[in-house]
């Protein structure tokens, strides 16, 4: 396993780096990443070596022309996601951008929005700031087939064959997510709550005092699922091969998905299935950061930044028939890895 990984970040105020240096650094890193990626496709044991962490302190790019921006995006796409999160603490006034995606949705999916800062939500509070409250969504899907292509199209069962008993976000991001769950789930005593954790692993990050009647994990690695003490049962299933969920209609009060939505190559089908198995009034909570296995993340995710990721996931909700989604930045003030929530309920 790699002790660290390469990354790139763009912010609302871009630092000035010489283009030749940027491209040399980027291409060298990309070459190293692709070299390791090639090995990962032939050996599942090396798959975990190509993780990315977005760090605001390294490789900050200047994009003074559309050609340079395109080059930077291609490099960033090969190495990981592009994030705006580090600019959120710059002290600018928070905003809730108005976006009319109903007219030309692809513009918002392939271009950087003018978002200089965002307002964070305290994950331990029930007072929340919805980042996408002024977004108008298209009636038809804005996505094209190539959006869901992946660099490594080999079977996911091979990639996830080796158990990974690690956390894919840092401790502060985990703390933020657990705090958020504490304000969302009934805690402190046994409840009748039934919950499904999609793309589950050896830990679900639920609060320690959350005691649901049923907690089912659906994931790719049985050894990881067996070790998850927060689950009452589990199912091994590859959603990108079989998106239909093996549960009756109206089965769950909550469905959670943690740092995995970027790997779904058939999200429209999967979100419709989630909608089907949720009880009326039930809620799907999607959480993600800026870390991923780049060879398995969909192309659109790698080519866009965190703000656009909110819009992408929100659009998944809309196409599946959910009520209007909401999105929050619940990153802790002293946290490093950002943490975002996009959630919505199934209409009564």
- pLDDT score, position 96: 64
Q: What is the DSSP letter of 128?
A: -
- pLDDT score, position 98: 75
In a domain? residue 230: yes
Q: What is the DSSP letter of 322?
A: P
- pLDDT score, position 188: 83
Tell me the HSE value of 320 on the side-chain side, using a 13 A CA sphere: 28
Helix (H, G, I), strand (E, B) or coil at 253: strand
In a domain? residue 314: yes
In a domain? residue 110: no
- pLDDT score, position 113: 63
Cβ count within 10 A of residue 166: 11
For the CA atoms of 221, 227, 231, 234, what is the dihedral angle to 10 degrees? 30
In a domain? residue 324: yes
Shared domain for 302 and 180, answered yes or no, is yes
Shared domain for 323 and 179, answered yes or no, is yes
Shared domain for 161 and 282, answered yes or no, is yes
259-303 confidence digits (pLDDT tens) = 999 999 999 999 999 999 999 999 999 999 999 999 999 999 999
Task: Please identify, among 40, 64, 85, the residue that sits at the C-terminal boundary of a domain.
Answer: 85
Boundaries of domain holding 299: 145-345
Number of domains in the chain: 2
Shared domain for 81 and 173, answered yes or no, is no
- pLDDT score, position 102: 83
Distance separating alpha carbons of residues 204 and 41, to the nearest angstrom: 27
For the CA atoms of 204, 205, 208, 213, what is the dihedral angle to 10 degrees? -40
- pLDDT score, position 166: 80
Q: What is the DSSP letter of 95?
A: -
Shared domain for 81 and 201, answered yes or no, is no
- The two tokens of residue 143 are 């996505």
Distance separating alpha carbons of residues 64 and 79, to the nearest angstrom: 21
Q: What is the DSSP letter of 255?
A: E
Distance separating alpha carbons of residues 112 and 320, to the nearest angstrom: 26
Alpha helices in the chain (DSSP H): 19-42, 66-79, 105-110, 156-159, 171-184, 222-227, 267-277, 299-302, 306-320
Query: What would you report as the CA-atom Rg of the chain, rounded to the nearest whole angstrom?
Result: 19
- The two tokens of residue 189 are 């005593």
- pLDDT score, position 322: 97
- pLDDT score, position 348: 86
- pLDDT score, position 108: 77
In a domain? residue 10: no
Q: What CATH number corresponds to the domain at position 244?
A: 3.40.50.150
Classify 281 in phi/psi space as left (phi over 0), alpha (psi -120 to 50) or beta.
left
Distance separating alpha carbons of residues 235 and 348, to the nearest angstrom: 28
Residues of the chain scoring pLDDT < 70: 1-97, 111-117
């Amino acid at each position: 396993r790699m002790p660290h990984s390469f990354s790139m970040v763009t912010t609302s105020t871009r630092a000035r780096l010489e283009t030749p240096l940027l491209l040399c650094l980027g291409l060298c890193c990309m070459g190293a990443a692709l070299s390791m990626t090639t090995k990962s496709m032939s050996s599942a044991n090396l798959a975990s070596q190509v993780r990315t962490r977005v760090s605001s302190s390294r490789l900050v790019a200047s994009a003074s022309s559309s050609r340079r921006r395109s080059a930077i995006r291609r490099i960033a796409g090969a190495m990981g996601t592009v994030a705006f999160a580090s600019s959120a603490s710059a002290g600018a006034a928070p905003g809730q951008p108005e976006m009319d995606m109903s007219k030309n949705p692809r513009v918002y999916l392939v271009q950087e929005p003018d978002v200089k800062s965002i307002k964070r939500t305290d994950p331990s509070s029930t007072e929340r700031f919805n980042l996408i409250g002024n977004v108008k969504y298209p009636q038809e899907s804005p996505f094209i087939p190539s959006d869901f292509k992946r660099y490594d199209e080999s079977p996911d069962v091979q990639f996830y064959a080796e158990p990974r008993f690690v956390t894919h976000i840092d401790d502060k991001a985990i703390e933020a997510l657990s705090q958020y769950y504490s304000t969302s789930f009934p805690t402190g005593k046994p409840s009748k709550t039934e919950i499904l954790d999609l793309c589950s692993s050896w830990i679900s990050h639920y609060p320690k005092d959350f005691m649901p009647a049923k907690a089912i994990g659906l994931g790719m690695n049985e050894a990881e699922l067996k070790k998850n003490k927060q689950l009452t049962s589990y199912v091994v299933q590859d959603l990108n091969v079989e998106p239909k969920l093996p549960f009756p209609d109206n089965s769950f009060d909550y469905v959670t998905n943690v740092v995995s939505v970027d790997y779904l190559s058939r999200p429209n089908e999967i979100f419709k299935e989630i909608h089907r198995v949720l009880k009326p009034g039930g809620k799907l909570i999607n959480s993600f950061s800026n870390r991923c296995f780049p060879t398995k993340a969909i192309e659109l995710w790698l080519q866009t930044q965190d703000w656009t990721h909110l819009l992408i996931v929100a659009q998944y909700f809309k196409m599946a028939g959910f009520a209007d989604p909401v999105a929050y930045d619940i990153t802790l003030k002293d946290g490093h890895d950002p943490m975002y929530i996009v959630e919505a309920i199934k209409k009564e």
